[in-house]
Structure 1
Amino acid sequence: MSPTSPALRHQVIRIYKELLYLGRDYPQGYDFFRARLHKAFASQKDLTDEERIRKGIERAEFVKKGG
């Protein structure tokens, strides 16, 4: 098992912050959104396969675009 690259870690943190920022206008409230976002990211925290991490980033980008 190799540690994930710092570039991927940076991308994950960046998309998390972007989604968190967008969540301030969420209809059910920011606190609800923040808890759900944290749970979604925390459930993937043990991923080490870089390809699966990239797919997760792509999924988050899709969500960000309102897909």
Structure 2
Amino acid sequence: MAQLCWYFSALLVALPATLLFRIIVIRFGRRLWLQAFRYWQFHLSQYLHFQKLLRAINYHSQLLLTPS
């Protein structure tokens, strides 16, 4: 009897928690994933742009330093 009571009390705790977790994942999961992806994509593009800028500066400084 005590084991059955423990089982039902565990169910009373677990079911609302899993339902709340599913609501959070369904409601906010896609939006949070998209925000994280956009953040990563923006910073990656900034980094690549910075690398391109550094390569251009390096190339032009080499042109200026080499005697013609």
Normalised by the length of structure 1, the TM-score is 0.31
Normalised by the length of structure 2, the TM-score is 0.31
Which structure's relative contact order is higher, taking Cα pairs within 8 Å and 6+ residues apart? 1
Computing the radius of gyration from Cα coordinates, the structure with the larger value is 2
Structure whose residues are more often helix by fraction: 2
